[in-house]
Amino acid sequence: MLKATWSDYVIKEHILKNAVILIDTREQENSHIISYLDKKEIKHQSVKLSYGDYGLLIPKNEIYGFMQDVVLDFAIERKGSLEELSGNFTNDRDRIEHELWRGNGKLDLLVENGSIDDIIAKNYNTQYDKNSFIATLCSFHHRYNIGLHFCKKENSGYMIVALLKYKLREELKGD
C-alpha cells in the first residue's frame, strides 16, 4: 500500500493519532462501539465501505506525503454473536461469502460474545451443527484468507481500533 517508511515516532504520534475509523453506513447495533470511540476521543465517520464494517482513513497530510486522504485496503467484518454468524452461514450464505470474497486477503472477522470453544461445546442458540460451523469457519479462513478474532462485546471497540491501527502500522513500517 504505502512504500515510504517513517520513524516509529512519526507513525505513532502523527499518523496513527490522526487516523479516522470508518464505519459502514449499513452497520447496525453498534452503539457500544461508537460509545467506545467517543469516550477515547477517536475520530470516526460513517461512510459506505466496499467490504467490511470498519475501515481506516489516513487524512491528507502533505508533510508526510499524503497528498489526499488514503483509505487502508483492509477492514473488519463484525458479527454480534455466534447466532448471527451461524445465521449468516445457513440463511444468508451467498451474501456473507460474497462479502468475504470482496475482502479476500484484506478482511478480518471479529465475533462478539463467543469463541471457538463455544462452537465446539455448542454454546450457541441455533440448530447449526457444530461440525458444519467449524468446517465453514475453517474453509472461509483458508479460501478468503481472513483472520478470525473473538472477544466480549464490551471489548469490540478496543479490538477494532487495535486491528486496524496495527495493520496500518505494519504497512507504514515497510520492509
CATH number of the domain within which 39 lies: 3.40.30
pLDDT for 4:
56
Q: Are residues 21 and 64 in the same domain?
A: yes
pLDDT band at 9 (very low <50, low <70, confident <90, very high): confident
Q: Are residues 81 and 35 in the same domain?
A: no
Q: Are residues 95 and 146 in the same domain?
A: yes
Decide if 44 is inside a domain: yes
Mean pLDDT of the chain: 93
Q: Are residues 28 and 91 in the same domain?
A: no
Model confidence, pTM:
0.92
Q: Are residues 94 and 147 in the same domain?
A: yes
Decide if 2 is inside a domain: no
Distance from C-alpha of 165 to C-alpha of 81, rounded to nearest angstrom? 24
Residue 39 pLDDT greater than 90, yes or no? yes
* Average pLDDT rounded to a whole number, residues 74-101: 96
Decide if 1 is inside a domain: no
Domain count within the chain: 2
Q: Are residues 64 and 88 in the same domain?
A: no
Q: Are residues 67 and 91 in the same domain?
A: no
Burial of 12 (0-12, 13-18, 19+ CB in 10 A): middle
pLDDT band at 89 (very low <50, low <70, confident <90, very high): very high
Contact (CB, 8 A) for 37 and 27: no
Decide if 16 is inside a domain: yes
How far CA 76 is from CA of 68, 71, 104, in Å, comes to 23, 13, 12
* Average pLDDT rounded to a whole number, residues 84-96: 95
Distance from C-alpha of 175 to C-alpha of 135, rounded to nearest angstrom? 35
Residue 112 pLDDT greater than 90, yes or no? yes
Decide if 17 is inside a domain: yes
pLDDT band at 5 (very low <50, low <70, confident <90, very high): low
Q: Are residues 157 and 147 in the same domain?
A: no
Task: Give strand ranges (E) for 4-158.
Answer: 20-24, 44-47, 54-58, 70-71, 75-79, 107-112, 147-151
Say how many C-beta atoms besides its own lie within 10 A of residue 152's C-beta: 12
Place of cell 449499513: 26
Q: Are residues 107 and 123 in the same domain?
A: yes
Domain containing 36 equals 8-74+153-173
Q: Are residues 139 and 165 in the same domain?
A: no
pLDDT for 1:
47
Q: What percent of the chain has pLDDT over 90?
A: 79
Q: Are residues 96 and 60 in the same domain?
A: no
Q: Are residues 168 and 123 in the same domain?
A: no
